[in-house]
Amino acid sequence: MILVTGGAGFIGANFALDWLARSDEPVVNLDKLTYAGNLQTLGPLQGDRRHIFVRGDIGDRALVTQLLARHRPRAIVHFAAESHVDRSIHGPDAFIQTNIMGTFNLLECARDHWMSLTDEDKAKFRFLHVSTDEIYGTLEPEDPPFTETNPYAPNSPYAASKAGSDHLVRAWHHTYGLPVITTNCSNNYGPYQFPEKLIPLVIHNALAGTHLPIYGDGKQVRDWLYVGDHCAAIRRVLQSGKPGESYNVGGWNEKPNISVVKTICATLDKLRPRNDGHSYTDQIRFVADRPGHDRRYAINAGKIERELAWRPEESFETGIEKTINWYLNHGDWVENVTSGAYRDWVTRQYGTAE
Ligand code: NAD
Ligand code: TYD
């Protein structure tokens, strides 16, 4: 079996659902259920004996040690993190705590577990650390996309905390021999993304008839990766990636924010036209820029294609249409995660809401 951390969040839950749709290998899913974690996303796995959900903190050494001893996973796929740049600017503490201290704790528990394995199982064990392209900092318009050898130059508290975790993961391999692999991916989008990130926020606000906020001039560029493609990349890396290596994962889809928002508006104009016949672009508003806003991220995903034969299947056009259709058909999910009803339920169920 495998241990997934952060598997009630956007990418982790997509990963757990996809994993169990493709194989019977059980998943132990450790998640703290912060505002970003949602058990409703894992609803299809309710009652499924292959999925064991545990509410808890990756920083809880006793809990993680106990889980590893009980389930003896052959791999840990580490998604759990505080993940939103704007939140990291307002309150970096949780980012340092979870992304750096939590990863440190997980590595120490993983090392103890790995040391207890037979030589054969030791060789097969993997600690897969899911990280971000934001650790490379920002690019000028003419710069080539990030490769795995770009220097680390994180600019936001979020990016710095992820960079810190990447360095720990690297050191645990170099010093202790723990078979780690790091993936650095670009901006994900797709079903079940909390509507604080650009794409789900714009879909949600458009349908709610409110403003679509664009930071600064909207010419910042991101590379967009459909979450299903990302999950496939992680499965491939887990299967065939080389311990000690890192792999950039991207969608080959560089887009300025303003063009992403206009594409969403045009797709909604087609699929769910406004009652007044106007375009959703009328709702666009340029607002104050994010402090320290990185201008451009771009991923060269050539290494993972050459070495592990992975390439994304979705273009931005196909992926965004799938995503918008999903949000149109899952208003209940969005309503639930934004209404506070979910947090009330977690409080009732677990005693506390983070
Ligand atoms: P998310 O914010 O949607 O989900 C994070 C999950 O981690 C939540 O379920 C939350 O409850 C859980 N969590 C937070 N702190 C925890 C703790 N201390 N212990 C246990 N669980 C905890 O994030 P996401 O978008 O799914 O991102 C997953 C991973 O991918 C993160 O490591 C993130 O840095 C990385 N990443 C995300 C993107 C993206 O575009 N979303 C891009 C690059 C990298
Ligand atoms: P986001 O989804 O927060 O991801 P990240 O900051 O990790 O790249 O933001 C994507 C881009 O969209 C980023 O350049 C910031 C911009 N943005 C807006 O212009 N308006 C918004 O309301 C949000 C949330 C983001």
Apex 219 CA angle, 267 and 196, nearest 5:
60
The CATH superfamily assigned to 2-187+226-251+296-313+340-350 is NAD(P)-binding Rossmann-like Domain (3.40.50.720)
Neighbouring CB atoms inside 10 A of 210's CB total: 11
Does the C-beta of 136 come closer than 6 Å to ligand 1? no
> Over its length of 354 residues, how does the chain's per-residue pLDDT go in tens digits?
999 999 999 999 999 999 999 999 999 999 999 999 999 999 999 999 999 999 999 999 999 999 999 999 999 999 999 999 999 999 999 999 999 999 999 999 999 999 999 999 999 999 999 999 999 999 999 999 999 999 999 999 999 999 999 999 999 999 999 999 999 999 999 999 999 999 999 999 999 999 999 999 999 999 999 999 999 999 999 999 999 999 999 999 999 999 999 999 999 999 999 999 999 999 999 999 999 999 999 999 999 999 999 999 999 999 999 999 999 999 999 998 887 766 676 677 656 655
List the residue whose alpha carbon is closest to atom 35 of ligand 1: 131
Output the pLDDT for position 244: 98
Boundaries of every domain in the chain: 2-187+226-251+296-313+340-350
Ligand nearest the Cα of residue 96 is 1
Ligand nearest the Cα of residue 226 is 1
Output the pLDDT for position 346: 62
The predicted-structure confidence for 69-85, as pLDDT tens digits, reads as follows 999 999 999 999 999 99
Burial of 2 (0-12, 13-18, 19+ CB in 10 A): buried
The predicted-structure confidence for 139-187, as pLDDT tens digits, reads as follows 999 999 999 999 999 999 999 999 999 999 999 999 999 999 999 999 9
DSSP H or E run through 240: helix 227-240
* Residue among 4, 10, 42 whose CB has most ligand 1 atoms within 8 A, to mutate: 10
Gap from CA of 176 to ligand 2 centroid (Å): 37
Does the C-beta of 188 come closer than 6 Å to ligand 1? yes
Mean pLDDT of the chain, nearest integer: 96
Output the pLDDT for position 339: 79
Active site residues: 133-134, 158
Output the pLDDT for position 95: 98
Nearest to 300, CA basis, from 133, 182, 131: 133
List the residue whose alpha carbon is closest to atom 43 of ligand 1: 132
Check if the beta carbon of residue 173 is closer than 8 Å to that of residue 243. yes
At 299, is the secondary structure helix, strand, or coil? strand
Q: Token pair for residue 28?
A: 């132990």
